[in-house]
Amino acid sequence: MRLFRKSGDKVELLALSWDSDLSLGDYLVVEESDRKILLQVIDVEYADVPGLMEDILRDLSSGSVEVTERLDPIEIESVVRSIRDSRVVVAKVRRVNGVDPNRLWLPSRYASRVRRVEVSDLLRTVIPPPKVPVRVGEGVVIDATSVEGSVTLIVGRKESGKSHLAKVLSSELARAGCNVVVLDVNGEYVSLGRRRDGEPSHVSDLMTVLAPGVNFQVPLASMSDEVLADVMTYALGLPQTSLRELLRLVRDLRRRRALTFPNLMRAVQSVPMNESVRDAVANRLLTLESTGIFTDSDQEELEVDLTSLFPPDRGALVVFDMSRLGSIQRRVFVEFLLSRMKELLFNDEIDPIVLFAEEAHLYLRETYWEDVITRMRHIGISTVLITNQPDSIPALIYRQADNVFMFNIRNGSDIEHLARNLEIDPETLRSILPNLPPGNVLAWGKAVGRLPITFRVIDPGTMTLGTTRTKLGRLLRQS
Ligand SMILES: Nc1ncnc2c1ncn2[C@@H]1O[C@H](COP(=O)(O)OP(=O)(O)O)[C@@H](O)[C@H]1O
Ligand SMILES: [Mg+2]
């Protein structure tokens, strides 16, 4: 390959058909003495072969002509054909090394050398040796410390491999020692404890699966005023004046060790208060009770102590299976969980958490987004958001995101949304994203040295079943 043309950060290289065996997203280094330019391939086109181009191509192919002439004269024809069939490789400048940034320097078209660099070699030069290595792709090892404490986004269309990566990341982070919490909307992480062959997987010992309302319930009396207030305000929209009345009754019953749903309801009905406040409070209490997540009795077997799920000496993978919850239950449960985790983190009762949230716009309130990037990570909750609707994540979050993993996206307006909000040039996104095969990702951010890097996500062989359950699928598996 030879350099041909440059305009702005876009570079065109000429390649003969046999050395243009490149994939979108591949990296090339152009070297001239100790100066280097790092390029990323974003397109390959056929070359028009007029004067100048032909000249360069002749120079490039002269070596091969000599050899082939001697060995097999007929091969000449293939050289000529190859020149006509040559390609223009379009690439973007990613880094320039060994050059004073104020000097205008272009490598020589004839004297510079172009070679390909493997992603694994490239990563070694752009990120420090991982303190806690996590293997996510063939030869792609990232540092767990660049995900814990960060905001990470995983976007892409349906069936493109987002959840698969989230499963790899969540298991590997737990194995590395992180406290991982998964909000599993489709009940698809529950099988991470088993391999496809049915044997226990490498995370089965670290894993707990909890279904709210089934094997996870919370005694009403165990909830602090703060947590109850968060659930009432943010999940159920109880106005502040009504909340004050409710908390007054709650505190009174708590003092008398009689905080149960029936007692609370009786108090709401009998204590003098504004009728509309009474209605508002009674309504929310009924809804809260009907979720089945909160109980009166101290049924010990269902009461799960969150602190015990996160032992200080090893990692944990806690999956909340929300697949059987309706939308209100989901909101109530998530609000409870986040509020309770904040409380535990604030009191230093648990170590920081990495929260994996699929399709978070379905159950997280609007203001949570600002919380994610401002307060949450300081409190100790780092978030991995996974969605097939890139525009459901506000611009604010994209601009603050530390890592973004992008899978195949064909929808033009989704790509533009990413292009507007990420520090990656739109051309790169437009050319790479629609062409990514399933399971392949374009990663960018702290974890990959702020270079856009493409790779295929590894398949660790755990039972990472997809989301869609069908009867035909079951019959086919049985036959
Ligand atoms: N890197 C990969 N290696 C092997 N199988 C994969 C890979 N990525 C995805 N798959 C499989 O492809 C299907 C769709 O992937 P999934 O992650 O569920 O898609 P999404 O969450 O984007 O809708 C699943 O059955 C999954 O197991
Ligand atoms: Mg998915």
What would the pLDDT profile of 36-68 be if each residue is shown by its tens digit? Answer: 999 999 998 877 766 656 766 777 777 655 544
Q: What is the pLDDT of residue 377?
A: 82
431 and 333 both lie in a single domain: yes
pLDDT value at residue 52: 57
Assess whether the C-beta atom of 137 lies below 6 angstroms from ligand 1.
no
pLDDT (mean) for 305-318? 92
The ligand with the least distance to the CA atom of 473 is 1
319 with 226, same domain: the answer is no
Segment among 9-18, 209-218, 320-329, 405-414 with least mean pLDDT: 9-18
Specify whether 193 is located in the same domain as 222: no
* Same domain flag for 266 and 386: no
Residue 351 confidence (pLDDT)? 95
Q: Is 162 in the pocket of ligand 1 (CB under 6 A)?
A: yes
pLDDT tens, residue by residue, 153-166? 999 999 999 999 99
**Of the candidates 22, 32, 27, 6, the residue with the CA atom closest to the CA atom of residue 126:** 27
Given a cut of 50, is residue 467 above it in pLDDT? no
Question: Do 343 and 438 share a structural domain?
Answer: yes
Q: Which two tokens stand for residue 145?
A: 């410390």
Residue 171 — pLDDT band, cuts 50, 70, 90? very high
- Last residue of one domain, picked from the residues 117, 134, 149: 117
Q: Cβ(314)–Cβ(202) under 8 Å?
A: no
- The secondary structure of 264-298 as a DSSP string is HHHHHHHS---HHHHHHHHHHHHHHHHTSSEESS-
Indicate whether 107 and 6 sit together in one domain. yes
- Please write the tens of the pLDDT for every residue from 340-391: 999 999 999 999 999 999 998 888 877 777 777 778 888 999 999 999 999 9
Query: Based on the domain organization, do 274 and 316 belong to the same domain?
Result: no
Domain count of the chain? Answer: 3
Our mutation pick for probing the ligand 1 site, out of 164, 192, 359, 465, counting the most ligand atoms within 8 A of Cβ, is 164
CA of 344 to the centre of ligand 2 (A): 30
Question: Of 295, 314, 347, which residue is a domain's last?
Answer: 295
pTM attached to this predicted model: 0.88
Query: Three-state SS across 8-50?
Result: CCEEEEEECHHHCCCCCCCEEEEEECCEEEEEEEEEEEECCCC
Residue 397 corresponds to which amino acid?
Answer: I
**What pLDDT score was predicted for residue 78?**
64
Q: What is the pLDDT of residues 216-258, one digit of tens each?
A: 999 999 999 999 999 999 999 999 999 999 999 999 999 999 9
Residue 299 has pLDDT above 80, yes or no: no
Q: Examine the domain organization and report whether 236 and 184 are in the same domain.
A: no
Ligand 1: residue whose CA is nearest its atom 4: 459
Ligand that lies nearest to the alpha carbon of residue 136, given by its number in the listed order: 1
Rounded Cα distance, 217 and 219, in Å: 7
Ligand nearest to the CA of 167: 1
**Domain stop point among 246, 269, 295:** 295
- Same domain? 134 vs 108: no
Residue 11 CA to residue 425 CA, distance in Å, equals 14
Residues 255 and 326 in one domain: no
User: HSE of 355 in the Cβ direction (CA atoms, 13 Å)?
Assistant: 22
Q: How far apart are alpha carbons 38 and 117 in whole angstroms? A: 9
Does the CB atom of residue 440 touch ligand 1 within 6 A?
no
Same domain for 435 and 357? yes
Ligand 1: which of 140, 154, 159 to mutate, judged by most atoms within 8 Å of the beta carbon? 159
Question: What is the average pLDDT across 453-476?
Answer: 72
Strand, helix or coil for residue 184: strand
Please report how many Cα atoms fall inside a 13 Å half-sphere around the Cα of residue 91, on the Cβ side: 32
| Cα 309 to ligand 2 centre (Å) | 25
- pLDDT score of 284: 96
Is 138's C-beta closer than 6 angstroms to any atom of ligand 1?
Answer: no
Which domain does 291 fall in, by range? 218-295
Shared domain for 429 and 403, answered yes or no, is yes
Q: Is 393 left (phi over 0), alpha (psi -120 to 50) or beta?
A: beta
Share of residues in the chain with pLDDT > 70 (%): 88
Q: For residue 154, what is the domain's CATH number? A: 3.40.50.300
Q: What is the mean pLDDT of the chain?
A: 88
List the shell of residues around ion ligand 2, using CB closer than 5 Å: 163
- Cα(220)–Cα(218) distance, integer angstroms: 6
Compute the Cα dihedral for 243, 244, 248, 251 and give only its sign.
Answer: positive
